[in-house]
Structure 1
């Protein structure tokens, strides 16, 4: 009962079963190797040993392909022939659905019915209105930035120029007061200094 391997038309055959994928064929190979191990270890003449192997195989979910299920069915048949009844044996679980189900079958009637669109023009008008509102917001933001007192990318040159001119006026006013105070106190300072400041 060795694997027949892959034939030319991309199918995977193991023990006469043609599997749809390589993964399924590998699972079948695993089931086949498990069967061989069980056959060497179990005494086929003792029904209680056969029943123990049968039940443990089902409880531990050892077999996952039709090859393993076929082996379990063979054990079940041996047990029935040796005197066990259907009620004494655990049924063989098949955890694979044999029929295809449509996704629509699982939906409720309410989910299947698509509601009609109430106002298809709203879908076209809404993006336009949204774009206009966003454009107005951007314009307002630029106006706020341009008229604000804080330095920003729009008004930094004007603010810096105004700040320096204010400092220059304040400095000139202080120099004038210092000169007056020096004259009142009779302090003479070098004339070159005054000439430099007056030329500015």
Structure 2
């Protein structure tokens, strides 16, 4: 039994499976037609031919909806019950499941579980991301260390140059004052008049 478009309130049914979206419904209709075509081709086929087609259909991931998976299960059962077909040559049926999860906002989110591990490309990018993240943290630590060293060092930098220059001039001024005082004491001690020596 097949339903019609769900926009006017009718249910979207294929083989008594009800679908939520028009897209899922259309996919199920295509899988139903493909299953019917394959059934007709395999009606009088040898078990080896059935096995080849079954494995090819699974490898190409032609069926994803319950309608297609039901057909695959029929073929698999037929092959398992045939003693001329070794069970290790019969591929398993991969299933993608959808899980509805209630979020904090109250909206439903649909999550798709992965049937296989991440592809090597994704793992490669994850590894690269980890390395880049580590380098970023190292660089941040280096910048913080540089500012700490800069703040505690006595050398002249752009941050403390004015203060350092003023301190240097004050030091020179005190040294000059001390020398001038020593010279005046020497002149007084030996009776030298500094105003006469300048003329």
State the TM-score, normalizing by the size of structure 1. Answer: 0.45
